[in-house]
Structure 1
Amino acid sequence: MKIKQHVREKYMELCPYSAHKCESYEELDYKIIRAVETGRVINTYPCRAIQYHNLRFTVKDNTVIDMEKNSEYANVSHYRKRQFEQKYYNISVCEGDYNNNMATDEEIYELLYT
């Protein structure tokens, strides 16, 4: 998925606390892609409109072309965010874990940062 530079700049303006935690455009892009992938689809024609908390993203031809803050709200669960993180970083679940099909936060941290 591609992201227009305009959207990155708008994200930094509308979400300064979240953007400040990012050390690179790759980390910023991850947050935008996560929002688009896990958000609720509001509209599909002529462009996809996706609501993520109080942010609305506009996607056309697999490119995020705009975003705005609005008064609507779409809750995104922690479970859904973790599912996306596992998919994005291609994290597989440890063998023998039959009761929980998701890696724990500690396992994810260990895989990413050690």
Structure 2
Amino acid sequence: MFILRSPSRIMQFTQDLLAPAAMAAGAAMVVAPVIVAGPALAVAGFGAGGIAAGSAAAGVHSGIGSVVAGSAFATLQSAGAGGVGLAVVNGVVQAAGVVVSAGGIAAKL
């Protein structure tokens, strides 16, 4: 087992293993954002049939009452149903993928 005993070993571990993983994960997020957005929306409770009963989304919805058009909640609801909001959510995931990849690249420097 690889034991991290010193700061230099930690840095080497980061450069050798974690940085390439971050670059690959970030690239995957940019190329296919739905691999992150779809499951994340489903776990939160935003689905094709609307908000799932007993989910986090249902709890937030009951707390805010009426959903204002164009709000973040409305966008997530639209994304979960495969509507126009999905383009927005995918764009956010792609931007996050760029940041994750950049972090991996920076760690290799």
TM-score normalized with structure 1 length: 0.22
Greater strand proportion? 1
TM-score normalized with structure 2 length: 0.23
Higher Cα Rg: structure 1 or 2?
A: 2
Q: Which has the higher contact order (CA 8 A, sep 6+)?
A: 2
